[in-house]
């Protein structure tokens, strides 16, 4: 077995403010990686780990952990240094370690408290190190040597390439006997009525950062006049919302405080995930997730912004504007850039993961769904009240995105295939190498035509036509982006999709996850079909069939939708895209079910997500195990390497609140 395994992080503590994050053990200690014991612990900034160790002792020994207190964006670790306490059973000395983060900095306050008859003195020692490891090395479980520190008038500094990390240590004695593991020391004396405290701070500068943090007040807030009924988004411009045919909420659920707790935690996390580009500091978007994807991702940022539209259009406008500024203009096989295409991800440097065979350029366009999704979000933001002038300013970008979409649809279906040999083999949201497989476990050969991407394309074509028509934008006849041409392309797509993608098994009709390179339907039952509901691609009877399959026990775990049904050979509850549950995936299905009037099914799935959120203290992770809620474990089990928080998972709280009549 390889020593280089992706570190687990489900049991770690985090404070963050994009693009800076600090991961530690539950007791607050940041312990360094070692051969055979790689960890994500440390302070990470802009895809670089700038601090890899911060171990605190009192009189040469660690305090015994006694608990953790979270307050907003800070965490206080409570320790009991009983080796400096007075005799007796009662612990009368406490060490409080309060950590907080801001964009570009992490600070700690160390406080000694006591209830002893005489003052208590303790010598605090903080051992630090920095390996300046890039994100891909951390994610791959690779360990790196520590970088030597240099003494400064106020503390210490580490420098590597374009990154500097400087520690300011108030009143500390600095010991550089070992430059790879410098030590800060303070002597504190506390009395019963007089705690003693000191503060140290780490400040980081990245000379080639491609994203930056924001300090503006969050635009996300729960409306004070939130209605007790669920506002359902419209499937087509100009249509009335689908009639609510579902049953009323049970009184027990109406009194349930969990939806509000889920919303509150999610909005706090989303606030910390807000980012901007240095070139567009006033246009905010959401980082995809901590720690692995603390940057701009086209698909992730768009879906998160779309879920959040009931709370305002500011993040959607910022996300659309930022992605438009980087829209493809040329054909570049290395980066997968094409004219009109919306990017997949943005990094400060190339991302190389040898074990996965990946070598992605810093600006990478290897995604098949972000481009039509961009148009869908622009339309929805316009319907939700995004200023018309801002919408008009983005119409030329919508035109280019629709031209790219039409060209793909005219060629058959929107499809992908990596031609570089080192890009993403799968370029939909299920982008792991084994995510597109037949029911018997065979992997599908490309080019791959995903079912949900055709739904996004249909919706983009129809809503793009609506948008152009309403705002008087003619489109370009040669590119087939006139309103009439867009609707004709959508109608043709729907007719062909109905012929090519539908299958049937012992449980009834369902939609294949994809067509493979030979045009054969990939017959695995998956959650992907849930993305089609509410797009307009399916007829009402077809949406009924999908709704029934989504709540069947082979897909619905009781904690949300499994990515792959239990009837598939490749199913395993802890497989990344082959049986685990992703909150955003379930939320997309819930949103579509609300659009199409399938409120009972939407509520059932929403209650499952709420049950899962409660399992994780309402900071719902990127994904978790697909084990059933009716099994021996009454709570959702973690996928230990999952991002937490993750933007689109946190934003799913809004969809859950809508489905349960809380927003």
- Over range 271-288, report the average pLDDT: 97
The half-sphere exposure of 558 on its side-chain side, counting CA atoms within 13 A, is: 14
Backbone angles phi, psi at 296, to 5 degrees: -80, 125
212-216+231-659: CATH topology is Glycosyltransferase (1.50.10)
DSSP labels for 246-280?
Answer: SPPPPHHHHT--HHHHHHHHHHHHHHHTEEEETTE
Is the pLDDT assigned to residue 70 strictly greater than 70?
A: yes
* Global confidence as pTM: 0.94
For residue 72, the model assigns a pLDDT of 84
pLDDT digits (tens, 9 = 90+) for 615-662: 999 999 999 999 999 988 789 999 999 999 999 999 999 999 999 999
- Banded model confidence at residue 229, pLDDT cuts 50, 70, 90: very low
Ordered by start, the domain boundaries in the chain are 13-206, 212-216+231-659
Is the pLDDT assigned to residue 555 strictly greater than 70?
A: yes
For residue 245, the model assigns a pLDDT of 36
Is the pLDDT assigned to residue 333 strictly greater than 60?
A: yes
CA 643 – CA 23 distance, rounded (Å): 12
The percent of residues above 90 in pLDDT, for the chain, comes to: 90
Within 10 Å of residue 28's Cβ, how many Cβ atoms?
Answer: 26
CA 501 – CA 503 distance, rounded (Å): 7
- Over range 520-537, report the average pLDDT: 98
For residue 236, the model assigns a pLDDT of 40
**CA torsion angle 566 570 576 579 (round to 10):** 0
13-206: CATH topology is Beta-galactosidase; Chain A, domain 5 (2.70.98)
CA 661 – CA 654 distance, rounded (Å): 11
Is the pLDDT assigned to residue 225 strictly greater than 90?
A: no
Q: Which DSSP letter does residue 388 get?
A: H
pLDDT digits (tens, 9 = 90+) for 132-158: 999 999 999 999 999 999 999 999 999
For residue 231, the model assigns a pLDDT of 38
For residue 248, the model assigns a pLDDT of 52
């Amino acid at each position: 077995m390889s020593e280089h395994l992706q570190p687990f992080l489900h049991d770690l503590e985090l404070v963050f403010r994009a693009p800076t994050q600090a991961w530690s053990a539950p007791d607050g200690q940041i312990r360094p990686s070692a051969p055979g014991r790689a960890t994500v612990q440390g302070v990470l900034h802009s895809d670089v780990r700038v601090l890899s160790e911060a171990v605190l002792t009192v009189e040469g020994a660690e305090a015994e952990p006694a608990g953790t207190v979270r307050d907003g964006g800070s965490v206080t670790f409570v320790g009991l240094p009983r080796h400096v306490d007075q005799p007796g059973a009662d612990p009368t000395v406490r060490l409080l370690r309060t950590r907080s983060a801001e964009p570009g900095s992490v600070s700690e306050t160390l406080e000694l408290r006591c209830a002893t008859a005489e003052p208590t003195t303790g010598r605090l020692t903080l051992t630090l190190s920095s390996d300046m490891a890039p994100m891909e090395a951390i994610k791959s479980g690779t360990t790196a040597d520590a970088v030597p520190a240099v003494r400064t008038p106020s503390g210490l500094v580490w420098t590597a390439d374009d990154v500097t990390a400087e520690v300011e240590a108030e009143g500390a004695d600095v010991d550089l006997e070992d430059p790879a593991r410098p030590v800060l020391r303070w002597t504190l004396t506390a009395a019963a009525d007089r705690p003693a405290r000191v503060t140290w701070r780490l400040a980081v500068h990245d000379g080639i950062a491609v994203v930056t943090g924001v300090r503006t007040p969050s635009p996300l807030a729960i409306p004070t006049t939130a209605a007790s009924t669920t506002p359902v988004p419209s499937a087509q411009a100009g249509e009335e919302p689908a009639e609510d045919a579902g049953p009323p909420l049970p009184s027990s659920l109406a009194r349930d405080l969990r939806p509000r707790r889920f919303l509150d935690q999610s909005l706090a996390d989303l606030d910390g995930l807000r980012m901007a580009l240095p070139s567009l500091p006033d246009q905010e978007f959401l980082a995809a997730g901590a720690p692995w994807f603390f940057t701009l991702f086209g698909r992730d940022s768009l879906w998160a912004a779309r879920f959040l539209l009931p709370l305002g259009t500011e993040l959607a406008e910022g996300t659309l504007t930022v992605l438009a500024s980087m829209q493809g203009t040329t054909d570049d096989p290395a980066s997968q850039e094409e004219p009109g295409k919306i990017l997949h991800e943005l990094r400060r440097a190339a991302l190389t993961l040898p074990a996965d065979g990946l070598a992605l350029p810093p600006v990478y366009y290897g995604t098949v769904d972000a481009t039509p999704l961009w148009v869908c979000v622009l339309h929805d933001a316009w319907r939700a009240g995004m200023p018309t002038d801002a919408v008009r300013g983005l119409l030329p970008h919508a035109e280019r995105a629709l031209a790219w979409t039409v060209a793909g649809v005219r060629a058959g279906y929107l499809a992908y295939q990596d031609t570089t040999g080192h890009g993403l083999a799968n370029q939909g949201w299920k982008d792991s190498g084994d995510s597109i497989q037949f029911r018997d476990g065979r992997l599908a050969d490309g080019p791959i035509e995903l079912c949900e991407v055709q739904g996004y394309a249909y919706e983009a074509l129809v809503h793009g036509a609506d948008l152009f028509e309403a705002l008087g934008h003619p489109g370009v006849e040669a590119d087939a982006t006139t309103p009439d041409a867009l609707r004709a392309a959508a109608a043709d797509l729907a007719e062909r999709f109905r012929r090519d993608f539908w299958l049937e098994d012992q449980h009834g009709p369902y939609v294949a996850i994809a067509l493979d390179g030979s045009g054969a339907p990939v017959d695995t039952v998956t959650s992907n079909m849930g993305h089609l509901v509410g797009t307009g691609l399916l007829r009402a009877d077809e949406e009924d069939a999908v709704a029934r399959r989504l709540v069947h026990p082979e897909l619905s775990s009781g904690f949300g939708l499994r990515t792959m049904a239990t009837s598939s050979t490749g199913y395993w509850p802890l497989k990344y895209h082959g049986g685990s549950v992703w909150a955003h995936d379930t939320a997309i299905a819930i949103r579509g079910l609300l659009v199409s009037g399938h409120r009972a099914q939407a509520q059932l799935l929403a209650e499952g997500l709420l049950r899962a959120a409660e399992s994780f203290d309402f900071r719902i992770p990127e994904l978790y195990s697909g084990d059933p809620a009716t099994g021996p474990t009454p709570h959702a089990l973690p996928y230990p390497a999952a991002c937490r928080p993750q933007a689109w998972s946190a934003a799913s709280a809004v969809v859950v609140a809508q489905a349960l009549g809380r927003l």
